[in-house]
Every structure is written in C-alpha cells, then in structure tokens.
Amino acid sequence: MARIAVDAMGGDRAPGVVVEGAVRACREYGLDVVLVGDETRIRGELVRLGAAGQKGIAIRHAPDTVRDEAPPSQQIRSRTESSLRQAFELVKSGEADALMSAGHSGAVLAGALLTLGTLEGVDRPAVVARVPSLLGGRVVLLDAGANVDVKPLHLVQFAMLGEIYARRVLGIARPRIGLISNGEEASKGTATTRAALEVLGRMPGLDFRGYVEGKDLFTGACDVVVTDGFTGNAILKTAEGAAQALFTFLQKRIEASPMARFGGMLLRPALAELRCISDYAQYGGAPLLGCKGAVILAHGRSGPDAIANAIREARDATTLDLAAEITEACLRAARRMEVV
C-alpha cells in the first residue's frame, strides 16, 4: 500500500485541518499517512479529534516551517528541518511514495527540484489544475502556479505534459490544446508566447488550436490550456472569487422577496449542481507533473474534505506510469525548439 508524506504545517489553517483531513483519508480510504511537522501540535490535534491511536497514521517530527519572508528556494535549502523539506526527504529516501502539501506552491516546486529532480528531458515541472467546463468534464490548465517566469521551451513542454495528462488520466483520446493570450491573432501575445506558438503549430501529432483567451477556459473550446504560472494562478483565483461573488449575489437576491424565494426554490437543483462542479474540495489537489515522484498541491485554504481528497489523489498518482512518455515528448519538444 502506498504511503503518503503529508506536510502537516502547510496551509492557511495548518496543522488543524491538515490533521483532520489526514484522519478522514485514513478512515474513508484506508490510506497510510506520515504527518510531518511539530509533533506536539500534531498529537494535540489527534487527541482533539479522538484519533490518538488512529490506524494508518505515523508522525515524523519537523520543528521548523517554510515561511513567506524569504525566497522559496532559499528556504528549502536552508530550513532543512522544515516540515516540507522533511516530507520531501521521506519521498526521496523511499520511506514515502508520494507527497501532499497545502503550503506555498513556489516552495513545493523548489523542494521537488532540490530533492527529487525532474524527469529526463523536463526543464520545469508544472502544476496541473482541472477546471469545470460548461460542456461537462474538466479542462486541464497548466501551469497553475509553480513557474512565474517562463521561456518558450517551458510553454511548449507544458503543452506536452498537459496533452499526456488529459489523454492518459482523463481519457480524452485526442486533446485539443490552446495557448493563453490576449487575443486569437498570431500577432498578439508576448515574445515568449509568440515563439511558443510557432513551435506548437509545427509539433506533429499535437492537436494545437492556437491562441485562446481567458473567456475560452470554461467553454470547452480546448481540453488543455497552457500558460505561465503567474497567469494561470491569477486566472484560477479570479474565477474562484467570481464564482463566490455570484453565489453571494444570488443568495441575497433570492432572499429579497417571497417571489424571489419561490424562484430560488425552483433553481435550487441547478444552483446546487453548479456549486458542486465549482467546488475544488471534491478534487482536492493538483499534481506537480514532470518531477521524479508523485507530488500533489492542495489549495492553501483547503478544509478537511479537500485535504482528504488531495491525499487520496496522491495515492492514485503513485499508480500512474507516465515517466517514459513525458521524457520522450519533452525531448522531442526541445529538439523542435533547436531547429526553429
């Protein structure tokens, strides 16, 4: 059975919700979890939850944490006793099979690069997010927050990573791929996106649809949407805020009058379905694709359900065998860049 190293101190409400999510993962999915962090605080949370002797949970003491005041790469190198660094060391040594963290995405990327390294041919791993489509199913968005500054090669390789993920994991036979820009015309975008656009348009076997705009993300126009980590993360957080604002607005309007409340009752099933498909908690986390090892990032504001599902997803990630295909695709992309 796979063993998951959990960064118990990562996230806005750690360690409380992380420990609670780990307990749920053990109880509901029968997982083996190593909670990495301040042992005293972790044990206190287990006692609070009535799970002091919970089967499947072990603790690895790590007295330090990664903080926000210094660059992530610097902290991962210097804070060797931090919960995140120690969780990565468990995966590196083989004591754990996968890692889950709700901490700083940049620190998770730095930790993966420092301790695990990338698959052959991969220049930068990318965070893979799945967003709801109006046509049903999910659209793959990457990078969703790991790489703020990118080169054309990175965007091309992200497209290859996303294509493999959509095909092998989501079961989409021939994923349609788009590159985020400020317009559909080839003259739009930045020097980086234009260079990537040219290469992607010439990649054999890739169903590349050219530039797409932010509005196309949820329409099902593409199965894979490629961008840098800064833009991808901003898109996700904007969409999250817009969805929450919409629900709040509708709730206030529905409560404004008896007639509106009656209309709200009729709309309740549709609104419940919309809330469900837009709730990241049911999906839990986003994989960091392209590194050696299974790494899952959870939302920093995750609650116990989202943490439990992210841990489950980390378990599922250990069964995927994408390394050889990713290496071949990324090496092919690098060769294509050399001849442009």
Q: What angle do CA 6, 80, 111 make, to 5 degrees?
A: 55
pLDDT average, residue stretch 160-179: 95
Q: What pLDDT, on a 0 to 100 scale, did the predictor assign at position 286?
A: 93
pLDDT tens digits for range 218-275:
888 899 999 999 999 998 888 878 777 877 887 787 787 777 677 767 767 766 666 6
Question: Which residue in 113, 118, 122, 112 sits closest to 329, CA to CA?
Answer: 122
Mean pLDDT rounded to a whole number for the chain: 89
pLDDT of res. 272:
64
Give the per-residue pLDDT at 282: 56
67 and 75 in contact (C-beta within 8 Å)? Answer: yes
CA 296 to chain centre: 6
User: How far, in Å, CA of 99 to CA of 305, rounded?
Assistant: 17
**Is the model more confident about 157 or about 218?**
157
φ, ψ dihedrals at 271, nearest 5°: -65, -40
Radius of gyration over alpha carbons of the chain, in Å?
Answer: 21
Q: How far apart (Å, rounded) are the C-alpha atoms in residues 168 and 173?
A: 8
DSSP states of 157-222 as a string?
A: HHHHHHHHHHHHTS--SS-EEEEE-SSSSTT-S-HHHHHHHHHHTT-TT-EEEEEE-GGGTTTTS-
Question: Percent of the chain beyond pLDDT 70?
Answer: 93
For residue 280, the model assigns a pLDDT of: 54
Which of 23-32, 245-254, 326-335 has the least mean pLDDT? Answer: 245-254
The listed range with the strongest mean pLDDT (125-139, 158-172, 249-263, 322-336) is 158-172
Query: With 60 as the cut, is the pLDDT of residue 278 above it?
Result: no
300 pLDDT above the threshold of 60: yes
Residue 131: is its pLDDT beyond 90?
Answer: no
Return the pLDDT at 254.
78
pLDDT at 44 over 90: yes
Q: Which domains does the chain have, with CATH numbers?
A: 3-118+290-319 (3.40.718.10), 126-277 (3.40.718.10)
Q: Is the bond preceding 15 in cis, omega lying within 30 degrees of 0? A: yes
Given pLDDT bands bounded at 50, 70 and 90, which one contains residue 193?
very high
pTM over 0.85: yes
